[in-house]
Amino acid sequence: MGAMNQLDQLKRHTTVVADTGNFKQLAQFAPRDATTNPSLILKAVQQADYAPLLVDTVAAHRTLALDAIVDRVLVRFGQEILKVVPGRVSTEVDARLSFDTAATLERAHRLIGLYEAAGIGRERVLIKIASTWEGIRAAEALEREGIHCNLTLLFAFAQAVACGDAGVTLISPFVGRIYDWYKKAAGAQWDEAANAGPNDPGVKSVTAIFNHYKRHGIATEVMGASFRNTGQIVALAGCDLLTISPELLAALQASDAPVPQALDAARARSMDLPAVHLDERRFRWALNEDAMATEKLAEGIRAFAVDAGKLDQLIERARA
């Protein structure tokens, strides 16, 4: 038997999740879960393979309000993904509601209701919400109802602490976008080799969160997200989950370089790390003190909002 490829090696340490709306290319990587976001769904519905899904959904629900049709399109993608993956799908609440707890709750309830009406139990769905203070409060309420959440656009340790305090099921700390920020900030001074692997700023961020959670018995799952290269993924082997684009899943499959376990929950449990808890005032201050996280959170919400608007336009055209 030949050497195991990197993807199979990674699966020994970490649950592998596919980050895509393109459900037809999922099976080849055998991920356990899948994640979507407005940008990925927008990309998918513009491809010939997936366009009929949008057209059919709009045709069946033409008279509904626009946002209600959008949610049906998102859930339709989720249903198709769940035919391929054995685990969970993450479906995102409209990013334009990121600072509105009540509206986020309302939208999350509708998404879960649509899944349940389609015969899909809530244990197979993660409601994806931006890690704003308001989003974290919505997630806290949803978790108490048994609706599980994936808190996304997470860049700061403070966001992770607040999510752990709120009892959310899973967080998605972003690796590549953190790396992007530091690389851009350093400009000509950036040293790629010195900031690779365990020294990558995004990798360091996720590692610190993982170690904190494990040390203090916080049950929230850590799912590294937003990768720029396979080196970042390999450096986080051992993380609870990693959500990876099809392109990088293919790159891992094509390599048989070693993937040693980098993160270790047992090791983290014996680390000397102080407990941290944050009320709203401390959370907002800590986030404000972190220029990278402040900028990336705002930029991420804006970008998802733009793509949500484009999806709205496609749906409006389809029902015209």
Average pLDDT over residues 98-116: 98
Residue 2 has pLDDT above 70, yes or no: no
Active site residue 128: yes
Active-site residue, selected from the candidate residues 11, 43, 83, 128: 128
The per-residue pLDDT of the chain, averaged, comes to 97
Whole-model pTM: value is: 0.97
Q: Tell me how crowded residue 257 is: count the other CB atoms within 10 A of its CB.
A: 11
- Give the confidence band of 1 by pLDDT, cuts at 50, 70, 90: low
> pLDDT (tens digit, 9 = 90+) per residue, 288-313?
999 999 999 999 999 999 999 999 99
pLDDT at 154: 98
Question: Domains in the chain, please, with CATH?
Answer: 9-21+31-319 (3.20.20.70)
